[in-house]
Amino acid sequence: MDERLVVVGSLNMDLSVTVPRLPGPGETVSGADVVRGPGGKGGNQAVAAARLGARVRMVGLLGDDAHGGELRAALVAEGIDDGAVGTLPGAASGLALIVVQDDGENTITLSPGANDRLDESMLRALTDGTVANRADTVLLQLEVPLPTVLAAAREARAAGALTVLNAAPLPAPGPLLTELLREVDVLVVNETEAAGLLRLPDVSSVARDESWTARAERLRLLGPGTVVVTLGAAGAAAADGRCRLTEPGFPIDAMDTVGAGDAFCAQLALALGPGRPLAPALRRACAAGAVAATRRGAQQALPTRAEVDALVSRDPV
């Protein structure tokens, strides 16, 4: 694989603690020692894509604190081009506080720091007005300001790159989000995000009233040519105008799901492209997410291409 991928998104330092169960409101639950490591949806997806064999360029913003230096070093160690990663004087880098339940479920509290300062003018300055930079694919998420993501999507589409949006965390409905969905080729959402975009009262109503593939097809009406809904351990559902399909999850012993969605998105972005079928791309994406969920941490858990190949081969269709 020699795919050229640009990731525009967040870079965070993750502080994670594992607990026997997630605490309720006002409750204290004792957990294991804190694990510290690089994260952020943008950083995670960039590292995942690099390990999966792509040539990756990261576009993002760090603070000039100690975390910023560590986060940049983590990108460079993976062979990622950090030339479009800026450092903002006087700002703190993004920070995520993660609580992980023993079965892998988690809650995340995010302090965006410098990520929130990645505005359109900063995007242009970091990329010299060429976000796509001869890339085959541009991968986006929503942990940086929405107008910036929209600007990146427009530039990617104008350059002829495949534009993939992981719409997480999902913002409130509004004209910017509506316009962004019309500018992307591939939309990836989880069950909760899909329900939010469709203005459904809750996720359970989806399972009860209509299949996930039908909901994916309805999400296509918002603009994306291809829509993928991740279903956790159950796999994923998708529609691309030619077919609707579901891909079952791989049987694993989940340990930590923090980086699983990012591994899924990176592999899907690399496996899709003009003329490439959706089904094998979806299967590889499910495999990448499954491998990541068997290990603790975010970037520490992200799989290599060989590991995804091995899981796909072990459990053939």
Using CA atoms, how far apart are residues 265 and 198, in angstroms rounded to an integer?
21
For 227, what's the count of Cα atoms within 13 Å in the CB-facing half-sphere? 27
Say if residues 247 and 290 touch (Cβ distance below 8 Å): no
Q: What is the pLDDT along the chain (317 residues), one digit of tens a residue?
A: 578 999 999 999 999 899 999 998 999 999 988 989 999 999 999 999 999 999 999 999 999 999 999 999 999 999 999 999 999 999 999 999 989 888 878 888 989 999 999 999 999 999 998 999 889 999 999 999 999 999 999 999 999 999 999 999 999 999 999 999 999 999 999 999 999 999 987 666 555 557 999 999 999 999 999 999 999 999 999 999 999 999 999 998 888 788 899 999 999 999 997 778 999 999 999 999 999 999 988 899 999 999 999 999 987 65
Q: Which residues contact 270 (CB under 8 A, 6 or more apart)?
A: 1, 3, 5, 49, 52, 53, 54, 137
Q: Of 313, 240, 252, which is closest to residue 283 (Cα–Cα)? A: 313
pLDDT for res 62: 98
CB neighbour class for 239 (10 Å; exposed up to 12, middle 13-18, buried from 19): buried
Q: Which residues on adjacent β-strands are paired with residue 54?
A: none
Q: Which residues contact 243 (CB under 8 A, 6 or more apart)?
A: 278, 279
Angle at 206 between CA 200 and CA 207, to 5 degrees: 160
Q: Could you tell me the pTM of the whole model? A: 0.92
pLDDT for res 210: 74
pLDDT for res 88: 96
Q: Which domains are delineated in the chain?
A: 4-314 (3.40.1190.20)
pLDDT for res 201: 76
Using CA atoms, how far apart are residues 3 and 281, in angstroms rounded to an integer?
14
pLDDT for res 91: 96
Neighbour count for residue 242 (Cβ, 10 Å): 10
- The pair of structure tokens assigned to 41 is 């949806």
Using CA atoms, how far apart are residues 85 and 116, in angstroms rounded to an integer?
14
Angle at 171 between CA 269 and CA 229, to 5 degrees: 40
Q: Which residues contact 245 (CB under 8 A, 6 or more apart)?
A: 213, 237, 238, 239, 278, 279, 282
- Please give the DSSP secondary-structure letter assigned to residue 64: S
Query: Exactly one of 65, 262, 309, 315 is catalytic; which is it?
Result: 262
Is 309 a catalytic site residue?
no
